[in-house]
Amino acid sequence: EAEVPSARPFEGKIVTISAGGTREPLDPVRFLGNRSSGRQGVAIAQAALDAGADVRFVAAHMDVPAPEGVILTTASTALELHEAVFEAARGADVLIMNAAVADFRPSEYADSKIKKQDDHADPIIHLVRNPDILADVVAERDANDFSTLPPLIVGFAAETGDTSGSVLEYGAAKLARKGCEMLVVNQVGQSLVFGQDTNSVTILSADGTAPVEFSGTKSEVAEVLLETIAARVDSQDK
């Protein structure tokens, strides 16, 4: 019997997606944050729903609402996201780490609003490293033969090339460092239509499969990513 590729290749599969950007509080009214809008993550969640997946969506701060039909949890800080991603990733078939996670957080949180000093001294904010959520999920999975953490973990990276390396070289090094199965490398600053709804991505795979290059809207990027993942999930079932 010939196999026809399904229009809903993720039927019966659980896909966990983190999206948006974390915020690290300094005091009750201030935080260190980033400009992630959550739009790419929402597009991926929608593409996963359309492909038949049960979607667990872990949202940090986003400019847009999560799509209808996902199982939604929210997290504000990197530490909260760490816990939420581990919980939502257990039992899932795929984890897609699209969230922009703050690499550092203020080492101290002021319980009340920080005031200007009378002596005009410039305040100093000390930062400490946040855990690497993606690397921690991979490490815990790989340390346990019977782990229920996803066999397929996808990271995202925005890279710029410079004199010591190309976007792809940096991407390949990051993929190896993280230990995940795929890395979606966003080529930032290369697009003439920067700031518009167009993305230039290269999907790198750890298994030696040729990189997939694609430019398009965030929805189109999401569809290509899901197709690329579907090809892997199918071959795992056989």
Q: In Å, what is the CA distance from 136 to each residue of 106, 177, 191?
A: 21, 12, 32
Q: Is 116 marked as binding a ligand?
A: no
Q: Which residues bind Ca ion (CB under 5 A)?
A: 103
Residue 38 binding ligand CTP, by CB under 6 A: no
Residue 84 binding ligand CTP, by CB under 6 A: no
C-alpha torsion 160→161→167→173, nearest 10:
-100
C-alpha torsion 132→155→20→233, nearest 10:
-130
199 a catalytic residue = no
DSSP 192-230: TTTTSSEEEEEEEETT-PPPEEEEEEHHHHHHHHHHHHH
Using DSSP bridges, classify how beta strands 14-19 and 24-27 pair: parallel, antiparallel or unpaired. unpaired
Quick one: which H or E segment has residue 106?
Answer: strand 104-106
Q: Which residue from 27, 80, 83, 132 is in contact with ligand CTP, where contact means CB under 6 A?
A: 132
- C-beta closer to Ca ion: residue 184 or 233: 184
Residue 130 interacting partner from ligand CTP, Ca ion, none (CB closer than 5 to 8 Å by kind): ligand CTP
Tokens of 138: 């991979």
Residue 204 binding ligand CTP, by CB under 6 A: no
- C-beta closer to ligand CTP: residue 57 or 156: 156
Residue 219 interacting partner from Ca ion, ligand CTP, none (CB closer than 5 to 8 Å by kind): none
Residues whose CB is less than 8 angstroms from the CB of residue 231 and which lie 6 or more positions away in sequence, other chains included: none
Residue 59 binding ligand CTP, by CB under 6 A: no
Q: Which residue from 36, 40, 77, 130 is in contact with ligand CTP, where contact means CB under 6 A?
A: 130
- Contact residues toward ligand CTP (CB under 6 A) are 78, 97, 99, 101, 103, 130, 132-134, 155-157
Catalytic residue ranges: 34
